[in-house]
Structure 1
Amino acid sequence: MSLTEKQSGVLRGIVLGGTLSLMLVLLGAFFNPLAIDVTLNDFGRLKLAIVAALLPALLLAISVGRLAKQRFFQPLDIDGGGLSPGTEQARVLQSLLQNTLEQFCLAFAAYLAWSVVMPARCMSVVVLAAIAFSVGRLLFFLGYRKGAPARALGFALTFYPSLLMLLSAALYLFYICFL
């Protein structure tokens, strides 16, 4: 099966983003590059996860604000997407908001799961993932109108760290409980 040019572009972005995400998780888990205290208690771990989620939450708030501004200043959009067809810009901003909300929910669950399940020496991953989320969202926002290949790296940097964290935490939990 041959890939279209767009599919090839998306594949390049997700392979690069996936590779960077894997490196980020491995670096944070095995080398503690942020020198986070290895004796961090449960409260400290949860606090770390919540504080790390501030950057992603701010990007979610920016997404909400951008759509709210669009709706307020555009007569075709002021009634909201459920009551009017809306402008193309409102639909784009709604798509960005929806995707950011989905990614934030996944990331926050991953940060909490990781902070509760994994050893304290691995907590750098949470902060590194939040940074990757933020860089990824910015790349996604900037590339959105240029098409799927232009936003693939941004999507990957947002999604894959969360996915790797969730899978790793689940596997580690299984390991410590059953093996």
Structure 2
Amino acid sequence: MKSYPDDRKYVRNNIIGGVITCVVTCILGFMLLPAPMPRLETVSMRILYCLRWQIWSVLTLTAGIFVVANKRFFTSAIDPIEGRGEHLIEVHKRYIQNTMEQLVLHVASSALLASFLSPESMMIIPIRVFLFVFGRVTFWYGYMKSPIKRAFGFQVTFAPSVVSLLYCAFCFCNSGPAFALYET
């Protein structure tokens, strides 16, 4: 298999750019967003708040399914068994697959994170949802331009989930599974 050092450099730079974008977005989000947070006194209120924000994340998957359905209906890709026209929807099918995978990580890590956060820290949930949607859009756009250009969007989607899961694992190990469950 041939090695492509220039491609790896491009991907590495986009991964770094994605991480920087996530950090800057989180900092600016906490500093600049004037949106008042509702009083989220209990863990269940914080998880419900988090789940309601996921509508925007789920719509990224819905958009991909809609595009594939439209392309199938209006092109020769209408019959997936016959295989004609599959090249017309290949990138979109891959986008749907990756978005499904990322969506599972995103929703699970968001809900877990909401269970460990204080009410004052819940501003991170809408920021994470913004990053997820932005990441999915840039991933899809980059993928349509060239598969090598999907790294930035992937990283903007993936990094917040990984960081959130690591934080939740730390909280779990540090304080146990009952951390903050009984607050009023």
Residue identity (%): 25
Higher RCO (CA 8 Å, separation ≥ 6 residues): 1
The alpha-carbon deviation at position 133 of structure 1 amounts to 0.7
Q: Number of matched residues?
A: 173
Secondary structure at 1:168 match in 2 = helix
Which residue of structure 2 lines up, in the alignment, with residue 153 of structure 1? 152
The alpha-carbon deviation at position 23 of structure 1 amounts to 4.7
Which residue of structure 2 lines up, in the alignment, with residue 165 of structure 1? 164
Q: Which runs of 5+ in 1 are unaligned?
A: none
Structure 1 residues 148 and 116 mapped into 2: Cα distance closer, same or farther (>3 Å)?
Answer: same
Secondary structure at 2:57 match in 1 = helix
Which residue of structure 2 lines up, in the alignment, with residue 138 of structure 1? 137
Q: TM-score, normalised by structure 2?
A: 0.82
Q: Deviation digits for residues 120-150 of structure 1, max 9, x if unmatched?
A: 2221221111001111111111111332442
Which residue of structure 2 lines up, in the alignment, with residue 84 of structure 1? 82
Task: Give, as a single letter, the amino acid of the residue that structure 2 aligns with 1:174.
Answer: C
Which residue of structure 2 lines up, in the alignment, with residue 107 of structure 1? 106
Structure 1 residues 112 and 135 mapped into 2: Cα distance closer, same or farther (>3 Å)?
Answer: same
Which residue of structure 1 lines up, in the alignment, with residue 5 of structure 2? 4
Q: Which runs of 5+ in 2 are unaligned?
A: 178-184
> What is the root-mean-square deviation in Å for CA atoms of aligned residues?
2.5
For residues 40 and 88 of structure 1, the distance between their equivalents in structure 2, rounded to whole angstroms, comes to 51
For residues 155 and 124 of structure 1, the distance between their equivalents in structure 2, rounded to whole angstroms, comes to 23
**8 Å contact kept, 1:114–1:166:** yes
For residues 176 and 105 of structure 2, the distance between their equivalents in structure 1, rounded to whole angstroms, comes to 24
